[in-house]
A and B are shown apart, each in its own frame.
Chain A
Amino acid sequence: MLMRIKSPAIAVLLVLFFAAAMALPDDPEKGKFSVNGYVKDQSSGEDLIGATIFIEELRSGTSTNVYGFYSVCLEKENYTLRFSYIGYESVTHSVELSGDVVLNVELRPRGELLREVEVVAGIPDENVKDAEMSVMKLSAKTIERIPSLMGETDIIKALLLLPGVQSAAEGSSGFVVRGGSPDQNLVLLDEATVYNAGHLLGFFSVFNNDAIKDVKLYKGDIPAIYGGRLSSVLDVRMKDGNSKKFSATGGIGLIASRLTLEGPIIRDKTSFIASGRRTYADLFLPLSANKDIRNSKLYFYDFNAKVNHIIDERNRVYLSGYFGRDVFKNQFARMILGNQTATARWNHLFSARLFSNFSFIYSKYKYGLGSATDNEPNSFIWDSDLEDYGVKADFTYYASGNNIIRFGLSSVYHSFNPGIAKGTGDNSLFDEWIVPKSHAIESAVYAGNEQKIGALLTLKYGLRLSGFSGIGPGVVYNFDAQYEVIDSTVYGRGNIYHTYWGLEPRIGLNYLLSEDASLKASYARTNQYMQLAQNSTAGTPLDLWFPASPNVKPQVADQFALGYFRNFKSNLIETSLEGYYKRMDRSIDFKDHAELLLNKELEGELRFGRGWSYGVEALFRVNSLALLNGSLSGWVSYTWSRSWREFPDINGGEKYPAPYDRPHDISIVANWDINPRWTVAANWVYASGQPVTFPVGRAVIGGVILPIYSDRNGYRMQDYHRLDLSGTLHGKDRPGRKWQHSWTLSVYNAYDRHNTWSINFVQESSDPANPDKSYETYAEKTYLFGIIPALTFNFKF
């Protein structure tokens, strides 16, 4: 399955790949040597992702990759290298180059407080100097400090506070990047795709912050290494586990508890991390006055684990996995759903200049829904899942001081099981209903170069060639112009029945205007070969992923972005202004009253059109500003954007605002360490109301009032705004004591704003005893959250 080279797509990609690899020069350039190594956290031994290495003499630098590795190629000279990472004290090393040098560096986390201004000198300036744009990074520490719903730290909710990122709906784990739909985001956990990033209908995200090291969101300018989604890539990396000493971190909250254990198996060589979470909100359900709720079960749990081993200087292996489940049961129904992922990786240094990583990736999302009991005539079970098996090889060639060449290839076998429903028990009256499975191979080969031209200009250019093949066994329905099925074609096992190709250029440049200001521009084309059959704005865990097929062409997007980046006060303050325009072709929407679940002829419900979005994002970010005796960090962002759709079969062919069109969006995030024991944090968000369709008339039919609508999304809900607060009290630090603890009081929606979740038009009464009232209707809004306080206890030892 993995290497089914029968696939023409894969064969062509392999040939291209090896042709590219052959082109690499074998010998290092004459008179040049490499300095390379890993940058780690001194206390935990965790690799630091994106730590910067600045060469004082050349006034230029580089940064570590996702495995903490760096390599620079330099003339035979003496150099001073400064290593820095945000939140860590900088370290300077002198190097005399007379051959290749391995220089592994450990950085010490800076104390909570930053009183002395000179320490500030080490704040990296990647905001200005990096060739990348439209990228947002969040450390686990930043995320942890953001006040959260019910005290549950949530990575995805933190992302919603960034410019250009919006919520699909309140309480949803779906997020919208620059006007693209929620299924246009590639969500990766240690390189494995996470197909449903939410727990409990999306109120909480699947990522347990205690097990997470680094979060990076590409809103545009997506590097050639990534593909498969139009709008964004969310790259979440798990911690490797403390390689220095054993430690435990945990928390007890209002609805859930967490525990993380990590430590060395062999000191500085092998370490592990294991982290688990479980909610216990259901423990309170028996107290409910409502009988239906009393008899319900509702909880989720998840588990992250990772082991890594350093074999030698050149080889390191990682094994990581995630397993999560949501369980629900009441007297009518039961439901179990969840993701699981596994990634095995091998880092290999072919030479001081050629870094490689090989990954084997598995991912599965499944759900099962059934009646509460098994032996009734009506009892049934309905299962659906989506499974991925993937391989990936990525290489970085540090060609010279001025070029970093990245290339690689990947192939994923997808297996879609849209649904099997059947009766259970002996006296069942249901036949089996099977929506045919389908299978596909998605492959890509890419190459790109990051090239410095002179002291001021950095160019980044790359090309990704992707291919997507449908592979048997499978059934393809053929439709007429009215989307009715004419017939179907059945393909046998291993039969490749169609292939799509996509050529995806990615170009970017960074021009330094001064030491602390730059201008960046980028263009990226992205292809998307699978999408979510989601007709509602927030979606449910039951929504299905379905592949491109002879009836469904892949979606294509082109995004252009331009940005101005400026830092102040030795990088203490970062600002940026970015504008973008994104064009989406072959966009997918659904016909009116579409039936998306358990539908063998799902493709007949699809309609095709186009979309486009544009906007401007302004960000003002403070890294660590001395305030009174403490330090303040946070950001203010404002986004103005529009997002449109146009489908010949929808809204009479007229363009309409996408459900995610929110022209104005403001986020203010602040975190103030007042003193070593007290931290307070606040965030405030504002967004224009979501577009909605309201009735403009009524018809009375069959005793109900049927709405008559005019334009789709012609109205807007009320504006959304919300303030969240939190205060954390840390236990007294005593020298020599390992135990640390803290109490956090968080308040979600502090001024109790009743933000609209949905608006319904309700018939006053359908009681025949009161016939006059049955013609009266009124508008009613539903909101999810009032003010929600929560107390969390966290500990570490």
Chain B
Amino acid sequence: MRYQLFKITILAAFAGLMAVSCTERIDIELDETFTRLVVDGQITTDPGSRHVVMLSESGSYFYNQPPPPVTNADVHVSDSDGQVVALTEESPGRYYLPEGYHAVAGKTYKLEIQLEKEISGERYFTATSLTPMIGDTVYIGLKFQPDWGEEGFYEVQCYYWDPPETNFYMFNIFKNDTLLTDTISSKILVDDRFYNGGFTNGIGVGYLNQARPREKLRPGDVITFQACSVSAEYADFVWAVQQEVSFSTPLFSGPPANVTGNLSGGAIGFFATYSVLYASTVFE
């Protein structure tokens, strides 16, 4: 498992040394660059979710405002069977797929965006995504780790038969229907390098810090786990984003670099389709 397990371990191993360092805010003058289209869209195999593609514009680094939405675009998704659906802009820059529309494992989807106005000389953008397969069922348990952190952690442990091919998984944790892993940097992403085709006999897939009110568990809380089987390209994209937004040091961090997605026309971002499985447990 690439980043999560080892990287967490490596970082933990050096945490003691990091503790000696100090930080202070500084003022830096930065240059500007041209505007790009930013695309953030996912379609899962879950028929119960509303799937959305968000379009916005990039800005200067210290813009410090919500990004300007890209409105009145013509957005379509087509699948490998040739079925085409139009997306509806329900709020500025948020283009929704029809209710009940979901991806099917094994199918390829194509996103097409036609802008009203050009962004950096382009009006047409496209991306394709193959939806990976996923196993049949998943179960979870909770284990208290009293030694971790100030008030301990609950570790979400996962029981799952991994399919024989190489898979990449992204994990989400919900507490009473609230998504706790709500930013791309809080998602756990692994490959199946260490248990390919095997049973994940209680591997840790989520960590609830009991010192944080949002993550603190009380009797009756429902913890829902979402396992997403994502493509290698999307996994690389998420890892790269996580790397670019995480704390960088001369020890671990490679040189900063732009993150490439799967959009044509110089747009930033990713259009991803993936298979999901759910498991829930009630905390007692």
Q: Which residues of A contact B48 (CB under 8 A)?
A: none
Report if A659 contacts B (CB, 8 A): yes
Which residue of chain A lies nearest to B185 when distances are taken between CB atoms in the complex?
A: A704
- A702/B21 contact (C-beta < 8 A), A328-B13, A328-B16, A593-B239 known: no
Name the distance in Å between A773's Cβ and chain B's nearest Cβ: 9
Name the distance in Å between A113's Cβ and chain B's nearest Cβ: 40
Residue-wise interface mask of B (14-31) relative to A, using a CB-CB cutoff of 8 A (1 in contact, 0 not): 111101111111111011
Q: Which residues of A contact B13 (CB under 8 A)?
A: 328, 330, 332-335, 369
Binding-face segment, A43-51, A287-295, A616-624, A677-685: A287-295
A593 touches B254 (CB 8 A): yes
Q: Residue A369 contacts which of B10, B27, B270 (CB distance < 8 angstroms)?
A: B10
B258 touches A201 (CB 8 A): no
B28 touches A538 (CB 8 A): no
A701 touches B30 (CB 8 A): no
Binding-face segment, A131-139, A310-318, A554-562, A778-786: A778-786
Which residue of chain B lies nearest to A423 when distances are taken between CB atoms in the complex?
A: B194
Complex Cα–Cα for A595 and B67 (A): 31
Complex Cα–Cα for A293 and B149 (A): 10
Report if A482 contacts B (CB, 8 A): no
Complex Cα–Cα for A169 and B249 (A): 10
Complex Cα–Cα for A761 and B257 (A): 14
Name the distance in Å between A525's Cβ and chain B's nearest Cβ: 29
Residue-wise interface mask of A (402-441) relative to B, using a CB-CB cutoff of 8 A (1 in contact, 0 not): 0000000000000000000101000101110100000000
Complex Cα–Cα for A333 and B8 (A): 9
Complex Cα–Cα for A513 and B193 (A): 67
Report if A643 contacts B (CB, 8 A): no
Report if A697 contacts B (CB, 8 A): yes
Name the distance in Å between B144's Cβ and chain A's nearest Cβ: 13
Report if A25 contacts B (CB, 8 A): no
- A595/B36 contact (C-beta < 8 A), A330-B16, A429-B202, A759-B28 known: no
Q: Residue A710 contacts which of B31, B249, B250 (CB distance < 8 angstroms)?
A: B31
Complex Cα–Cα for A429 and B244 (A): 30
- A699/B157 contact (C-beta < 8 A), A429-B201, A430-B194, A710-B31 known: no
Report if A588 contacts B (CB, 8 A): no
Report if B182 contacts A (CB, 8 A): yes
Binding-face segment, A31-39, A376-384, A501-509, A664-672: A376-384
Which residue of chain B lies nearest to A168 when distances are taken between CB atoms in the complex?
A: B250
- Chain B interface extent, by class: 35 or more
Name the distance in Å between B30's Cβ and chain A's nearest Cβ: 6
- A777/B203 contact (C-beta < 8 A), A380-B5, A758-B250 known: no
Report if B278 contacts A (CB, 8 A): no
Report if A331 contacts B (CB, 8 A): yes
B33 touches A697 (CB 8 A): yes
Q: Which residues of A contact B268 (CB under 8 A)?
A: 699, 701, 706, 708
Q: Which residues of A contact B256 (CB under 8 A)?
A: 693, 695, 707, 709
Complex Cα–Cα for A285 and B194 (A): 35
Dominant SS at the B interface? loop
Report if A491 contacts B (CB, 8 A): no
Q: Please report the number of residue pairs spanning A and B whose Cβ atoms sit closer than 8 angstroms.
A: 257
Q: Which residues of A contact B23 (CB under 8 A)?
A: 780-783
Residue-wise interface mask of A (246-268) relative to B, using a CB-CB cutoff of 8 A (1 in contact, 0 not): 00000000000000000000000
A332 touches B19 (CB 8 A): no
A782 touches B21 (CB 8 A): yes
Which residue of chain B lies nearest to A590 when distances are taken between CB atoms in the complex?
A: B254
Report if B163 contacts A (CB, 8 A): no
Complex Cα–Cα for A779 and B194 (A): 38
Complex Cα–Cα for A370 and B33 (A): 44
Which residue of chain A lies nearest to B182 when distances are taken between CB atoms in the complex?
A: A703
Report if A597 contacts B (CB, 8 A): yes
Q: Residue A431 contacts which of B31, B195, B247 (CB distance < 8 angstroms)?
A: B195
Count A-side interface residues using an 8 Å CB cutoff.
93
- A708/B255 contact (C-beta < 8 A), A333-B9, A779-B26 known: no
Q: Which residues of B contact A382 (CB under 8 A)?
A: 6
Give the residue among B2, B193, B256 with the most A Cβ atoms within 10 A.
B256
Complex Cα–Cα for A291 and B248 (A): 24
Q: Residue B19 contacts which of A203, A293, A698 (CB distance < 8 angstroms)?
A: A293
B194 touches A778 (CB 8 A): no
Report if A592 contacts B (CB, 8 A): yes
Q: Which residues of A contact B8 (CB under 8 A)?
A: 332
A371 touches B62 (CB 8 A): no
Residue-wise interface mask of A (536-551) relative to B, using a CB-CB cutoff of 8 A (1 in contact, 0 not): 1111101000000000
Complex Cα–Cα for A470 and B59 (A): 51
Name the distance in Å between A432's Cβ and chain B's nearest Cβ: 8
Which residue of chain B lies nearest to A170 when distances are taken between CB atoms in the complex?
A: B250
Report if A760 contacts B (CB, 8 A): yes
Which residue of chain B lies nearest to A659 when distances are taken between CB atoms in the complex?
A: B255
Report if A776 contacts B (CB, 8 A): yes
Which residue of chain B lies nearest to A783 when distances are taken between CB atoms in the complex?
A: B22
Report if B108 contacts A (CB, 8 A): no
Give the residue among B16, B19, B21, B257 with the most A Cβ atoms within 10 A.
B16
B250 touches A783 (CB 8 A): no
Residue-wise interface mask of B (184-216) relative to A, using a CB-CB cutoff of 8 A (1 in contact, 0 not): 110000000111101111111000000000000
B61 touches A695 (CB 8 A): yes
Question: What are 23 of the A-B contact pairs (CB < 8 Å)?
Answer: A201-B17, A293-B19, A298-B16, A330-B12, A369-B10, A423-B194, A535-B253, A536-B253, A592-B255, A598-B6, A696-B30, A697-B36, A698-B58, A701-B40, A701-B270, A703-B184, A706-B241, A706-B244, A707-B245, A759-B28, A768-B182, A778-B25, A783-B23
New A-B contacts (12) at CB < 8 Å, excluding given A592-B258, A698-B60:
A377-B157, A429-B200, A540-B251, A592-B260, A694-B28, A701-B40, A702-B238, A705-B245, A713-B255, A777-B61, A777-B64, A779-B26
Q: Which 5 A-B pairs have the closest CB atoms?
A: A702-B184, A703-B183, A592-B257, A535-B254, A169-B250
